[in-house]
């Protein structure tokens, strides 16, 4: 996991020169393909953006590909504050943020502690314990949904429905992946550093805080981003445990409700604007911290 | 932080008396001293995972072996009886559930082939440093950052089933290009509707597979390329015989990751076709429908367990394989 | 020293988790937490009106909205899970009829017979409505409002365009109706003759077809066992449903009911069959009855009132029984029923409410309710149980997708009814 940000970059000194024989047709074809694929991938984004600036009437499926007759910000306003039967996404975005930040932070801290004791301050059966935790990453949540449903109910006095329950679930079901990422990362930390600290008489926590934590920032960023995006984009838990759509549920539930209603259907512009608004935080993270985002993806591949 | 740790170190360590008269007892003491802190540190996570993963799976299996099919039973007002594997037997005989499984199989197959194809192709194109590589990489990867629900909103529009003069979305493009033969009802096609849902799925995750392969390409030691060139291999031979074989572990990881995501598909179908649509029904939505409305907990649990088994069939051999590789 | 820090670290982790769970404590006092799925549009306004009445009649009771949106479906899930966890609200909304049975059989709702006495309600409601909240002589909920399900809505501009007289749309039979649908199709293929939305709205259409083709008596017989759901009459009715579905829009998958009405407002559809919560949407978009839209009984169902009713319960172990009682008093009262129904667009369940300032449609509906033959709705839990309704929805979704033919559909329908 070392040097996540350089994983996708070419190793230094690799010769990328194709032995040149006149005009490089290969390169032309490659660029043509790249541009074509990029255009195809961006196609839905084009529709989203264009439609979000169309007035009522103009934003019609049959005119999906056309530019707006008149560019208007009205749909964005409608999406944000809501109108008539359309729930506002503004408060939902706020709630989702309130859900996602603690979910990401707490599970990162747990993952870091687990990763440390599983890789560098090992104890008997550390490997078995690691496998025990890791398994949780692969289960389809449907396999636990029925009893989870009852368990969440039984806990409802302590953990209220809506955002608090979802924070709890994202933290708990985030433990395997965060543990995995940190464990793989700490394995790249030379054992000698830890031993040195131990020889100095440092206890586990001291070693953790003074040696391990200061070098953990890269994986903290990776894990925070990973947890942030997966909790933000979650729909399964949100749908089952989100509670009241207007006052409790995160943005994905509100969005799905918006997308399947006639009143909202007639204001497609607002729905598309709401969709863009709901994607904004994850896209921002992706654009600003893209390299770390990729790092998270890589660690999803189990092998460290 | 620092002052605290200073005091900790400056204080004489508790295990100071070195020549111990009772070595056995001190050994155990040392063992505890050595291992208790890490065990304490990890135990909250272990307890949480133990309860929320293992205990709940166990409990799910338990429910799936009962006749807990109605609300009064769920509420504890009527008896719940143990019925063994009856629910599984009924599900596996039910043509509608078999249809869900068939859909899931089709979806997984096409989703896998699609993402592997595009992911590999894109990685191959980008493998040699190209100008604007970062830009293209970002564009091809970004759909991964978008939630399936958000993707569903726009793809639902693009996959609109209306054809002809009123067509919209992709059909509109075909209509205006005169390719009316390509127009179809997408996710509402009675036989192949599920395959339409793989289009947005492939759109979302091909970039991820690309990133995996790209990392794979870049992880190949430079010497291998140089050696092949020295041996007089041309570009194609270099790829075919030297580079591609190096990628097989990456390909395996990609198949496992995409495969297990695919078996859980829920969000995208809910967003594009909804919970009722028969032609796009998959087990994950069956679970939702069993729980929702009619409170059939036993069948919901049974379908959940079947999904878990499907994932295990995929994951366990891979984990065993990885563990062996690691030991080597 | 060191040990305390370990403990502190572990404790901190636990605390962090607990912090996410904070603010769950309950306090008591005079409150009524009411659980409904009325969260948007006219329904939410109706609920507000009820709160106003509560404030007047019982100023000491604070109203708590336990509402959950997402339509009846997921709201009922949340409710069921709360009841299962013995965390009931003080009162919750339930459709009168077979749907109530699940709650009664689960032992989750209290017998309200003495409240009926106390509030003087024994003669306030029509007897056939009270039957639907009664089991073994005990009344388990208080009806708040009545909706008519077998109503056909029409867009006047669209009908005018295709040359159909909008005053002549009370069709005696469905075949008459189909003749006009054919006419619309021929006149303008871009117009959807009959609009539908997601699966449940198609089941709603199916129930009106069953009433029309079988007649009210045989339709009721499906639910009480006197009509054989596998018999040829039901099969023929399902065939008519198949024909009707061929005139509907294809882009209905997963949509809510208002999607279908919107097609009428947007001039893309001619007719829609849906319950009488539709006018609220017309009104919201400044559509005027008589110029923009009109209504008639669903084809072949004139003289029949296919109804569904909402009602409110008193759950076992309600945390604030006094609040619940105050709320039920509001629900049962003439003032409450008037204020609520006027805004919501339904008609009062009580027969003694003055309707003079209700809308034209509501007055017509109330008149029909008083004189028509009453049948209970399939889709909306008055006639069919949750399990039956669920299985019928599944069968219709499969049929609509083209994965079952008419005879397979018929077999699945029959199996859905008999269980």
Q: How do residues A277-288 score in pLDDT, each as one tens digit?
A: 999 999 988 888
Q: Are residues C289 and C224 in the same domain?
A: yes
In a domain, C21, yes or no: no
A157 close to C20: Cβ distance less than 8 angstroms: no
Per-residue pLDDT band at B327 (split at 50, 70, 90): low
Q: Based on the structure, what is the number of domains in chain B?
A: 1
Single out the residue in C336, C363, C390 at which a domain terminates: C363
C-alpha to C-alpha distance for C402 and B315, rounded to whole angstroms? 36
Give the domain range for residue C401. 151-306+377-418
Give me the number of domains chain C comprises: 2
B17 domain-assigned = no
pTM (predicted TM-score): 0.88
- Do C414 and C287 share a structural domain? yes
Same-domain check for residues C189 and C299: yes
pLDDT tens per residue across span B247-282: 988 898 899 989 989 999 999 999 898 889 999 999
In a domain, C25, yes or no: no
Neighbours of chain C (3+ CB pairs under 8 A): A, B
The residues, ordered by sequence, that sit 6+ positions from A72 with a Cβ below 8 Å of its Cβ are: A53, A54, A55, A269
Q: Are residues C236 and C350 in the same domain?
A: no
pLDDT of residue C72: 44
Q: What is the pLDDT of residue A286?
A: 84
Task: Answer yes or no: do A263 and C255 touch at CB < 8 A.
Answer: no
Residue A286 to chain C, least CA–CA distance (Å): 26
Chain C positions touching B40 (Cβ under 8 A) are: 6, 10
Indicate whether C36 and C122 sit together in one domain.
Answer: yes
In a domain, C359, yes or no: yes
Residues of B in contact with A117 (CB under 8 A): 38-39, 41-42
> Could you tell me if residue C23 is inside a domain?
no
* Separation of alpha carbons C322 and C80, rounded Å: 23
Q: Which residue has the higher pLDDT, C269 or B132?
A: C269
Select, from the ranges B40-44, B323-327, C280-284, the one with the highest average predicted confidence (pLDDT).
Answer: B40-44
Cα C258 from Cα C274, distance rounded (Å): 9
- DSSP string of B243-289, one letter each residue: IHHHTHHHHHHHHHHHHHHHHT--HHHHHHT-SS-STT--HHHHHHH
Cβ contact (<8 Å) for B48 and A148?
no
Question: Which range among A141-150, B13-22, B242-251, B312-321 has the greatest average pLDDT?
Answer: A141-150
Please indicate, yes or no, if residue C333 is contained in any of the structural domains: yes
DSSP A70: S
Residue C5 lies in a domain: no
For each of the domains in chain A, give its residue range(s) and CATH number, in order of start.
Answer: 89-299 (1.10.3720.10)
Distances (CA, A) of C36 to B11, C317, C384: 64, 18, 21
Residue among C84, C198, C250 whose CB faces B162 most closely: C250
Q: Identify whether B125 is part of a domain.
A: yes
Cβ–Cβ < 8 Å for A216, A112:
yes
Q: Closest residue of B to A228, CA-based?
A: B145
Check whether A115 has a pLDDT greater than 80: yes
Question: Does a structural domain hold residue B123?
Answer: yes
Q: Distance (Å) from the C-alpha of residue C228 to the closest C-alpha of chain A?
A: 36
Q: Name the residue range of residue B154's domain.
A: 86-327
A110–C13 CB contact, under 8 Å: yes
Work out the mean pLDDT of chain C and round it to a whole number: 88
Using the Cβ of A56 and the Cβ atoms of chain C, whether some distance falls under 8 Å is answered with: no
Q: Is A21 helix (H, G, I), strand (E, B) or coil?
A: coil
Contact residues on chain A for B205, CB-CB shorter than 8 A = none
Place of tokens 């084809």: C299
Same domain membership, residue C216 and residue C159:
yes
- Assigned domain for B102 exists: yes
- Rg of chain A taking only CA atoms, in angstroms: 24
Pairing of strands C91-95, C192-195: unpaired
DSSP B26-52: HHHHHHHHHHHHHHHHHHHHHHHHIII
Tell me whether C217 touches chain A (CB under 8 Å).
Answer: no
Q: What is the ipTM of this complex?
A: 0.86
Domain shared by C113 and C233, yes or no: no
CB of C56 within 8 Å of a chain A CB? The answer is no
Q: Which two tokens stand for residue A196?
A: 């040195």
B152-184 pLDDT, tens digit each: 989 988 898 888 777 788 888 888 888 888 888
- Structural domain includes residue C3: no
3-state secondary structure chain C: CHHHHHHHHHHHHHHHHHHHCCCCCCCCCCEEEEECCCCCHHHHHHHHHHHHHHHHHCCCCEEEECCCCCHHHHHHHHHHHHHHCCCCCCEEEEECCHHHHHHHHCCCECCCHHHHHHHCCCCCCCHHHHHCCEECCEECEEEEEEEECCEEEEEHHHHHHHCCCCCCCCCCCHHHHHHHHHHHHHHCCCCEEEECCCHHHHHHHHHHHHHHHHHHHHHHHHHHCCCCCCCHHHHHHHHHHHHHHCCECCCCCCCCHHHHHHHHHCCCEEEEEECCCHHHHHHHCCCCECCCEEEEECCCCCCEEEEEEEEEECECCCCCHHHHHHHHHHHHCHHHHHHHHHHHCCEECCCCCCCCCCCHHHHHHHHHHHHCEEEECCCCCCCCCHHHHHHHHHHHHHHHCCCCCHHHHHHHHHHHHHC
- Residues C110 and C199 placed together within one structural domain of the fold: no
Judge if C180 and C249 occupy the same domain.
Answer: yes
pLDDT in tens, C194-247: 999 999 999 999 999 999 999 999 999 999 999 999 999 999 999 999 999 999
User: Same structural domain for residues C66 and C129?
Assistant: yes
Out of B222, B260, B301, closest to residue A14 by CB: B222
- Chain B CB contacts of C395 under 8 Å are none
The domain that holds B164 is classified in CATH as: 1.10.3720.10
Nearest Cβ partner for B293 among C105, C390, C398: C390
User: Do residues B57 and A144 make contact, with C-beta atoms less than 8 angstroms apart?
Assistant: yes
Interface of A with C in 154-173 (CB under 8 A): 154-161, 164, 167-168, 171
Nearest to C172 by CA among C144, C213, C134: C213
> Are C287 and C315 contained in the same domain?
no
For chain C, say whether B277 makes contact (Cβ under 8 Å).
yes
- Tell me, yes or no, whether C280 and C401 share the same domain: yes
> Which is it for the CA torsion A249, A253, A255, A261, positive or negative?
negative
List the CATH number of the domain containing C105: 3.40.190.10
Mean pLDDT score of chain A = 82
Q: Note whether B273 contacts C84, CB cutoff 8 Å.
A: no
- Residue pLDDT, tens place only, B191-230: 899 999 999 999 999 999 998 898 888 888 888 888 888 8
Residue C16: inside a domain: no
């Amino acid at each position: 996991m070392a040097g996540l940000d350089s994983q996708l970059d070419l190793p230094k000194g690799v010769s990328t020169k194709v032995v040149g024989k006149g005009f490089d047709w290969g390169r032309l074809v490659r660029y043509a393909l790249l541009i074509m694929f990029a255009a195809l991938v961006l196609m839905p984004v084009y529709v989203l953006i264009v439609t979000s600036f169309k007035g009522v009437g103009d934003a019609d499926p049959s005119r999906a590909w056309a530019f707006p007759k008149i560019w208007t910000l009205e749909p964005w306003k409608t999406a944000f504050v809501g109108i008539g039967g359309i729930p506002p996404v503004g408060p939902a975005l706020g709630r989702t943020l309130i859900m996602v930040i603690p979910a990401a932070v707490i599970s990162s801290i747990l993952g870091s502690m687990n990763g440390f004791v599983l890789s560098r301050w090992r104890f008997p059966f550390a490997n078995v314990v690691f496998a025990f935790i890791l398994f949780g990453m692969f289960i389809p949540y449907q396999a636990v949904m029925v009893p989870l449903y009852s368990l969440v109910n039984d806990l409802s006095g302590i953990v209220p429905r809506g955002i608090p329950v979802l924070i709890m679930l994202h933290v708990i079901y985030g433990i395997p992946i965060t543990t995995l990422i940190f464990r793989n990362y700490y394995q790249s930390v030379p054992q000698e550093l830890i031993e040195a600290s131990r020889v100095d008489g440092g206890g586990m926590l001291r070693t953790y805080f003074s040696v391990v934590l200061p070098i953990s920032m890269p994986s903290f960023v990776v894990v925070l981003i990973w947890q942030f995006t997966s909790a933000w984009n979650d729909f399964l838990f949100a749908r089952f445990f989100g509670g009241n759509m207007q006052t409790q549920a995160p943005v994905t539930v509100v969005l799905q409700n918006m997308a399947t209603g006639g009143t909202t259907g007639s204001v497609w512009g607002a729905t598309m604007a709401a969709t863009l608004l709901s994607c904004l935080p994850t896209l921002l993270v992706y654009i600003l911290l893209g390299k770390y985002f990729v790092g998270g993806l890589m660690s999803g591949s189990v092998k460290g | 932080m620092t002052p605290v740790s200073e005091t900790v170190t400056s204080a004489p360590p508790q295990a100071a008396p070195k020549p111990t008269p009772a070595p056995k007892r001190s050994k155990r003491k040392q063992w505890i001293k050595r291992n208790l802190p890490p065990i304490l540190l990890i135990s909250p996570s272990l307890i949480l995972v133990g309860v929320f993963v293992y205990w709940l799976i166990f409990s799910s299996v338990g429910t799936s072996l009962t006749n807990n099919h109605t609300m009064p039973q769920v509420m504890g007002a009527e008896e719940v009886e143990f019925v063994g594997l009856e629910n599984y037997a009924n599900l596996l005989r039910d043509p509608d559930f078999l249809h869900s499984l068939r859909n899931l199989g089709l979806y997984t197959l096409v989703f896998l082939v699609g993402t592997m194809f595009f992911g590999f192709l894109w990685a191959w194109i980008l493998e040699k440093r190209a100008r604007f590589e970062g830009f293209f990489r970002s564009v091809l990867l970004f759909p991964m950052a978008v939630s399936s629900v958000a993707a569903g909103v726009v793809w639902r529009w693009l996959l609109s089933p209306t054809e002809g003069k009123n067509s919209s979305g992709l059909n509109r493009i075909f209509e205006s290009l005169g390719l009316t033969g390509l127009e179809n009802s997408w996710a509402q096609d009675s036989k192949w509707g599920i395959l339409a849902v793989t289009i947005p799925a492939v759109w979302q995750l091909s970039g991820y597979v690309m990133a995996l392969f790209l990392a794979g390409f870049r992880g190949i030691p430079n010497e291998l390329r140089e050696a092949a060139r020295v041996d007089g291999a041309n570009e194609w031979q270099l790829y075919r015989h030297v580079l591609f074989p190096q990628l097989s572990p990456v390909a395996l990881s990609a198949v496992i990751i995409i495969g297990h995501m695919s078996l859980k598909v829920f969000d995208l179908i809910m967003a594009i076709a909804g919970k009722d649509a028969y032609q796009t029904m998959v087990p994950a939505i069956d679970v939702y429908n069993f729980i929702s409305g009619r409170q059939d907990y036993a069948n919901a649990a049974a379908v959940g367990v079947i999904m878990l088994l499907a994932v295990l069939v995929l994951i366990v051999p891979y984990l065993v394989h990885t563990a062996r590789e690691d030991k080597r | 020293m060191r040990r305390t820090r370990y403990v502190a670290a572990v404790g901190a982790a636990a605390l962090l988790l607990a912090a996410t769970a904070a603010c769950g404590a309950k306090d008591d006092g005079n409150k009524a937490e009411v659980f409904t799925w009325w969260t948007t549009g006219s329904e939410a306004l109706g609920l507000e009106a009820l709160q106003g009445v509560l404030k007047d009649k019982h100023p000491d009771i604070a109203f708590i909205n336990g509402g959950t949106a997402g339509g009846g479906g997921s709201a009922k899930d949340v409710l069921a899970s709360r009841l299962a966890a013995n965390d009931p609200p003080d009162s919750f909304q339930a459709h009168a009829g077979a749907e109530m049975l699940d709650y009664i059989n689960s032992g989750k709702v209290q017998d309200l017979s003495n409240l009926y006495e106390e509030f003087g309600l024994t003669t306030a409601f029509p007897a056939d409505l009270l039957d639907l909240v009664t089991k073994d002589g005990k009344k388990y909920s208080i009806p708040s409002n009545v909706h008519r399900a077998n109503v056909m809505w029409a867009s006047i501009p669209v009908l005018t365009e295709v040359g159909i007289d909008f005053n002549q749309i009370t069709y005696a039979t469905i075949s008459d109706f189909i003749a006009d649908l054919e006419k619309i199709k021929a006149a303008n293929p871009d117009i959807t003759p009959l609009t539908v939305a997601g699966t449940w709205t198609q089941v709603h259409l199916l129930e009106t077809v069953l009433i029309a083709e079988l007649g009210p008596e045989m339709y009721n017989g499906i639910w009480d066992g006197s009509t054989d759901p596998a018999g040829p009459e039901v099969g023929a009715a399902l065939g008519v449903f198949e024909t009707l579905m061929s005139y509907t829009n294809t882009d209905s998958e997963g949509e809510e009911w208002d999607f279908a009405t919107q097609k009428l407002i947007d001039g893309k559809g001619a007719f829609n069959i849906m319950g009488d919560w539709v006018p609220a949407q017309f009104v919201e978009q400044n559509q005027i009855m008589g110029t923009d839209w009109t209504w008639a009984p669903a084809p072949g169902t004139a003289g029949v009132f296919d109804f569904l009713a909402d009602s409110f319960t008193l759950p076992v172990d309600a945390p604030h029984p006094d609040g619940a009682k105050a709320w039920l008093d509001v629900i049962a009262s003439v003032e409450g029923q008037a204020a609520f129904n006027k805004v919501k667009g339904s008609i009062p369940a009580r027969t003694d409410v003055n309707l003079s300032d209700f809308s034209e449609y509501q007055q017509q509906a109330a008149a029909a309710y008083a004189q028509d033959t009453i049948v209970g709705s399939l889709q909306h839990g008055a006639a069919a149980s949750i399990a039956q309704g669920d299985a019928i929805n599944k069968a219709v979704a499969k049929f609509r997708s083209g994965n079952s033919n008419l005879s397979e559909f018929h077999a699945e329908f029959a199996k859905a009814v008999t269980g």
